[in-house]
Every structure is written in C-alpha cells, then in structure tokens.
C-alpha cells in the first residue's frame, strides 16, 4: 500500500513538471510576440483573421518601417474584411500616394468619402463624425490640387469638410494655402484668420498669415504677424528668416540691426543653410561693412558651391572696393558654374578692359553676351568700345549703328557713333588709315540719366534663396515657406500643406540707394565728357 502511494506521488510530480515546462515554453515563445508592434499584431491575426483593426495595425507597423508595398497588402485585406471601414480605405489611399500611384490613391479616397455621411446643401450638419475620418477630404483635396485644372474641385472638398465641422482647423489651414495658390488673397486671409480664432497660439498660422499679407502688398501687416509668430516661438526658423528679409528689403537702416540679429539667430538654427549667411552678407554690404560682408559671402559660398548671387556680389564688393584683382577669380568661379551669367560677364569684361588692359579677354566676354542675347544693348555697346580700342573704326561704326538700331532712344549711343564718324572723317581727310589710331572709350559708358538702371555691374543681385532653380538673369526673392506643424490629427494624417509659391516681392529704393544713383550719374557724365574730349581731339 505504501509502495502504491509512492508510485502515485512520482507520477504527480512528473505531471506537474511537464505542465510547468509546457507553460514556460509557451511564455518564452509569447515573449517573442511582444518584440515589436508587427510581431504582436501578426500573432493576434493568427487567432482572429476577421478583425479589420488588426490588419490595419499590422499595416501601420509596416508603414512605420517605410515598407509601403507590404503595408498595402494588409490595408487592402482590412477593406476586404470590413468593406465599410473608412479608415482602412484612407490607409490604402495614403499608401498608394506614398508609392506614387496617384490614380489608385484617388480611387481609394473616393471610396472612403462615399462611406461618409453625405452633406445636404442648405441643411445644418448634425451627425457626429470622427475627426480623423474628416481627413479624407483634406487628403483627397491635397492629392488632386497638384493638377492646376482641379483647384476649384479641391476647394470644394475643403469647404465640405468645414461644413461638416466648422471648428476643423486643418481644413481652414489647407484651404488658405490653396486660395493663396489661386491668388484669392482676401479669401486666403479670411481662412487663416478663422483658423487663428480656433488656435491663436499657433505660430505657424501667424507665419502663414504674414505670407498672405506679403502677397497683398501689405509689408507692415506682414511684419506684425511675423512678430506674433516669434512672440509665440522666438526660434521659429521661417519667421526669423522671412521677417529679417522683409526688414532688409524695406531699405530702412533703422531695421538693419534687428534684421541682422534675426539672421544670426536663424543661422544658429540652420547652420548649413547658405542663404542665411548670404543675407547677412547683403546686410553688411548695405551698411558698407566690407570685411563682414566678405566674411559672410565666403561662408555662404563655402556651404553652397556655385552660389550664384553670393559669388556675383562678392566680386562686386571687391570691384567697388578697388580690389579688382581679387574679383577676377571669383568671377571665374561664377562663370564656371553659370557660364551664361550676363552681369558676371559684363563685370569681368569691365575689369579686364579698364584694369588689366586685356582687350582680348574683355572682347571674349562681350562677344559671349551678344551671342547669348543679340538684343543686349549694354553688351553690344561695350563690344563696340572694344573695336574702337582695337583701332578698327569701321567695325566700331557698324557696331554702334547696330546698337543704335536696338536702342534708338539711347542718346549716348548716338553721340558715340557721331564721335566715331567724326574721327573717321578727320583721319580720311588727313590720309590716315582708319585702323591705325584711336583713343580709348571706356566700356562702361552708359546713358547718364539712367546710369544705375543700365549698368548691371553697379547693382547688387538677389536677396532671397539662391537655390530656387532660376538659370539666368536676376534672381527674384523667394521666401521660405512653412511646412512645419500643419498636419491633420489621427492615424490618417493629412500631408503637410505646401506654401512653395509664397512671397514674390518688389523692392523700393532707399535714401542711400537714391544717393548712390546720383553719384553714379555724376560719374557717368564725367566719363562721357572725358571720352568726348579725347575723341574730338581736344
């Protein structure tokens, strides 16, 4: 009997051991299921394959790993398991968009939209809708507005979202940006003001309202709203950059110290952005702080090889500082990256002609300009000057005739032509060959009444972001635009709204610039008098 009881005891202990071992193995294996979201949700799918939420969760886990192709499979399966799941269709649309399949993305968003309660015009909307589901209107509108012919359609979607939920801040933000693109500035301003009523502490909203003010040619209101943004977020990078740019462009020296401070703060936040240093250099040039200007321009060029405006303005700085020899290698670098930069060619030709006495090099510069743009009066006139310097009076005469045909109202061209003809007549009467003698014209002779308008080398170039892809000519200022903090809520976020078209601007002349113009006009008049005296043989 005792032996029998001992046998049962051994069996009991053995069963307990097996049970503990089995559970330990199960616990160990279960721990692997908790390794990540993906393993956790896939393990749950093994138990319940008819739960659309689980299929969506696995898709989100893969999406977070940027594995969009695999995520799409799970999102599609979620729509099969639960065809009326609005979020699942939105996930499909977003994933197709990430895969650059716009047509399929639009189809998925339209399915999601069809599952939404329909708005009846004229009736107040009362049904409660999940906020993240409303993002289907935002996502679909953001997708189709890439096509300029569908902007009105996109606007209609934003308005539908607003009619369903009047406090839907993201809809006002996205609609404001679209209206700005459509040049409906008053409506864009009103959309941002409505968004600010819902969230007055959002620095990005104040920033975007300022961009609308700039488009509406209201710089004082723009600056006020930039300042609101900076009060809320003193290191708001875009507000720092664009408000400083606005103050710089005002031409008012009283704004320069604060503009300088904001650009310095901006480069602390964005130390690798060459545009910040470039604008610091432009401010220093405005203030005649040449050493600082050179430092900042060099910094910008070091960060962005071939920075067109920085290279040109550095060369211009050297030229204006009587450092023409230093300007030449900078111009060579500029023209290596931008061989069709007309103002760079004019400045280089001027330095070669007047300071290096390199007529051949100057001629190559001016010929290049005329080759690129046969109607360029300044380049053509300066080429005529080279012919005169080469003592080829007949060719200089023909060249000036062609220049006068291009610009019949330019009195200085007509006067130079008459001088050359008088010189030729005098030499012919004396029996002298027309290609033997001649005195020098300066290649920088321009119409004195419009000196700074005609002499490109007498003007600074570009004050905005240089890396905007313009190929030739004078850069326009392009404001940096906000893509920060403007996303929808929920799992199905809206894409960040794009303000890339924000802020072309015009620039008035400051008192200092007007003074510079008058000085250049006086200098041009003096040069003309000297040339005419030489050519007339006085």
Summarised one tens digit per residue, pLDDT across range 110-137 is 999 999 877 655 555 545 667 788 899 9
Sole residue written with tokens 């060099």:
298
What is the C-alpha to C-alpha distance for residues 270 and 276, in angstroms, rounded to an integer? 8
Mean pLDDT of the chain: 79
Contact at 8 Å (CB) between 106 and 144?
Answer: yes
Q: Express each pLDDT in 77-89 by its tens digit.
A: 889 989 999 999 9
Residue 507 pLDDT:
37
Contact at 8 Å (CB) between 502 and 481?
Answer: yes
Is residue 446 over pLDDT 50? no
Instruction: Report angle CA 16, 20, 22 to the nearest 5 degrees.
Output: 115
Whole-angstrom CA distances from 90 to 277, 453, 493 are 43, 56, 10
> Closest Cα to residue 240, out of 203, 214, 193?
203
Burial status of residue 395 (CB atoms within 10 A of its CB: 0-12, 13-18, 19 or more): middle
Output 188 or 460, whichever has higher pLDDT.
188
Residue 116 pLDDT:
86
Residue 39 pLDDT:
54
For the entire predicted model, the pTM comes to 0.72
Is residue 231 over pLDDT 70? yes
Tokens of 404: 């006068």
Q: Which of 49-58, 218-227, 377-386 has the lowest mean pLDDT?
A: 49-58
> Closest Cα to residue 337, out of 315, 367, 359?
315
Residue 117 pLDDT:
77
- With cut-offs at 50, 70 and 90, classify the pLDDT of residue 469: very low
- Give 446's contacts (C-beta < 8 A, 6+ positions apart): 378, 381, 412, 454, 455, 524
Q: Express each pLDDT in 4-45 by its tens digit.
A: 556 666 676 667 766 666 655 554 444 444 445 555 446 555
Tally of CA atoms within 13 A in the half-sphere of 367 that contains its CB: 8
Sole residue written with tokens 């230093």:
326
What is the C-alpha to C-alpha distance for residues 52 and 71, in angstroms, rounded to an integer? 14
Tokens of 307: 């920075």
**Identity of the highest mean pLDDT range in 229-243, 432-446, 488-502:** 229-243
Measured between alpha carbons, how far apart are the two ends of the chain, in Å? 147
Sole residue written with tokens 């809520």:
489
Q: Express each pLDDT in 337-359 by its tens digit.
A: 999 999 999 999 999 998 898 99
Residue 26 pLDDT:
54
Burial status of residue 491 (CB atoms within 10 A of its CB: 0-12, 13-18, 19 or more): middle
The pLDDT of 194-210, averaged and rounded, is 95
Q: Which of 64-73, 153-162, 281-290 has the lowest mean pLDDT?
A: 64-73
Phi/psi class of residue 480: alpha, beta or left (left: φ > 0; alpha: ψ in -120 to 50)?
beta
| DSSP states of 162-183 | HHH-TT-HHHHHHHHHHHHHTT
Residue 181 pLDDT:
93
- Give 264's contacts (C-beta < 8 A, 6+ positions apart): 280
Q: Express each pLDDT in 299-351 by its tens digit.
A: 999 999 999 999 999 999 999 999 999 999 999 999 999 999 999 999 999 99
Is residue 182 over pLDDT 70? yes
The pLDDT of 440-445, averaged and rounded, is 46
């Amino acid at each position: 009997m005792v032996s029998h009881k001992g046998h049962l005891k051994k069996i009991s202990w053995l069963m307990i051991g097996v049970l503990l071992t089995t559970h330990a193995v199960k616990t160990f294996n279960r721990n692997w299921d908790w390794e990540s979201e993906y393993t956790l949700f896939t393990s749950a799918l093994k138990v319940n394959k008819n739960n659309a939420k689980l299929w969506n969760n696995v898709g989100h886990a893969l999406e977070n790993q940027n594995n969009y192709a695999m995520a799409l499979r799970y999102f599609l399966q979620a729509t099969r398991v639960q065809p009326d799941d609005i979020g699942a269709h939105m996930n499909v649309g977003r994933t197709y968009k990430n895969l650059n399949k716009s047509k399929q993305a639009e189809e998925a968003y339209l399915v999601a939209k069809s599952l939404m309660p329909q708005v009846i015009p004229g009736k107040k909307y009362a049904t409660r809708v999940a906020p993240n589901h409303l993002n289907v209107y935002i996502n679909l509108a953001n997708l189709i507005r890439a096509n300029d012919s569908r902007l009105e359609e996109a606007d209609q979607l934003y308005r539908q979202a607003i009619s369903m939920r009047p406090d839907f801040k993201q809809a006002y933000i996205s609609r404001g940006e679209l209206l700005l693109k459509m040049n409906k500035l008053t409506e864009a301003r009103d959309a941002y003001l409505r968004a600010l009523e819902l969230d007055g502490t959002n620095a990005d909203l104040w920033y975007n309202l300022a961009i609308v003010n700039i488009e509406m040619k209201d710089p004082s209101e723009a600056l006020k709203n930039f300042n609101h943004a900076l009060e809320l977020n003193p290191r708001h990078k875009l507000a720092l950059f664009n408000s400083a740019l606005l103050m710089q462009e005002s031409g008012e020296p009283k704004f320069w110290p604060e503009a300088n401070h904001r650009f310095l703060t901006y480069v602390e936040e964005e130390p690798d952005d060459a545009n910040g240093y470039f604008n610091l250099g432009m401010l220093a040039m405005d203030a005649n702080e040449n050493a600082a200007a050179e430092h900042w321009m060099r910094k910008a060029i070091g960060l962005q090889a071939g920075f067109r405006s920085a290279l040109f303005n550095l060369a211009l700085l050297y030229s204006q500082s009587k450092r023409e020899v230093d300007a030449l290698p900078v111009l060579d670098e500029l023209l290596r990256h931008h061989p069709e930069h007309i103002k760079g060619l004019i400045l280089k030709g001027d330095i070669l002609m007047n300071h290096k006495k390199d007529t051949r090099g100057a001629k190559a510069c001016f010929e290049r300009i005329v080759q690129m743009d046969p109607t360029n009066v300044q380049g053509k006139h300066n080429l005529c000057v080279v012919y005169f310097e080469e003592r080829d009076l007949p060719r200089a005469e023909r060249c000036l005739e062609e220049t006068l045909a291009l610009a019949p109202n330019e009195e200085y061209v007509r006067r130079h032509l008459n001088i050359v003809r008088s010189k030729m007549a005098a030499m012919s009467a004396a029996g002298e060959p027309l290609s033997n003698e001649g005195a020098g014209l300066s290649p920088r002779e321009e119409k004195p009444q419009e000196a700074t308008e005609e002499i490109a080398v007498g003007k600074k170039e570009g004050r905005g972001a240089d890396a905007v892809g313009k190929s030739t000519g004078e850069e326009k200022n392009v404001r940096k635009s906000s893509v920060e903090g403007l996303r929808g809520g929920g799992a199905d976020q809206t894409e960040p709204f794009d303000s890339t078209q924000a802020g072309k601007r015009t620039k008035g002349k400051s008192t200092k610039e007007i003074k510079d113009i008058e000085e250049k006009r006086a200098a041009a008049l003096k040069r003309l008098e000297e040339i005419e005296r030489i050519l007339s043989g006085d």
